[in-house]
Structure 1
Amino acid sequence: MRKRLLSLLFVSALFGGALAPVYAADVETNPAIAEVATAPLALNSADAEALSRELVGIGPAKAQAIVDYRTEHGPFTSVDELLEVKGIGAATLEKNRARLVLN
């Protein structure tokens, strides 16, 4: 998988991004590629729309639950604190750990 990602990045760079639509399709179908391709999201300042759009397995309702938790309890002190949000388990956290930063 890493070999394929590196090949796609190399070929895309070689052709000036002409293969970007192919790469975008790969990102949508393979969360591991998306994890590498996405810049980290600021957990303490992202709105529900950004959380829903950028995180794997987080839809609008869970994204709003994250924002509500943050409003009620204050800023997250650790990414692991997401486990306190109803509906977010260890598997979802691990899929998104590399995508999140505290700010």
Structure 2
Amino acid sequence: MKNLPRYLAISTLFLSSLFYAFSSYAEPLGEQVDSIIESKTIDQVNINQASAEDLAKNLNGIGLNKAKKIVEYREKFGPFVSIEQLKEVSGIGQSILDNNAGKLIL
């Protein structure tokens, strides 16, 4: 399921490339895939499953150090039972929750 966005991007580009196959304006397929993947935004991040790298990459105001603290907290105390519980992690405050409203899921 986590590869679905990449699959959809590649499928879309494949169909687009067929349409533009004879056009002199077509970019190489590899460049189109890379461009779409780079511009893709993550809609939601599961704080009970995401790696530190995924947390840092997809959440606003969360660098790798804070992301590691989130994972360490989760490993020590078990899964988060609410989004608000993130504030118990050192360095995570209400502003980070506000900046990621709608992205954070359990």
Band of TM-score, shorter chain: 0.5 to 0.7
Query: How many angstroms apart in 1 are the aligned matches of 2:68 and 2:42?
Result: 21
Identity within the alignment, %: 40
Q: State how many pairs are aligned.
A: 73
* Unaligned 5+ runs, structure 1: 1-15, 28-36
TM-score, normalised with respect to structure 2: 0.62
Larger radius of gyration: 2
Name stretches of at least 5 consecutive residues in structure 2 with no aligned partner: 1-15, 17-31
Say whether 1:84 aligns with 2:88.
yes
Q: Structure 1 or 2: larger helix share? A: 1
Alignment match, 1:50: 54
- Answer 1 or 2: higher relative contact order, Cα 8 Å, separation at least 6: 1
Q: Does 1:41 align with 2:45?
A: yes
TM-score normalised to structure 1 length: 0.63
Q: Deviations over 1:36-93 (max 9, x none)?
A: x532111101000000000000000000000000001100000110000000111011
Structure 1 runs of 4+ with >2 Å offset: none
SS in 2 for 1:46: coil
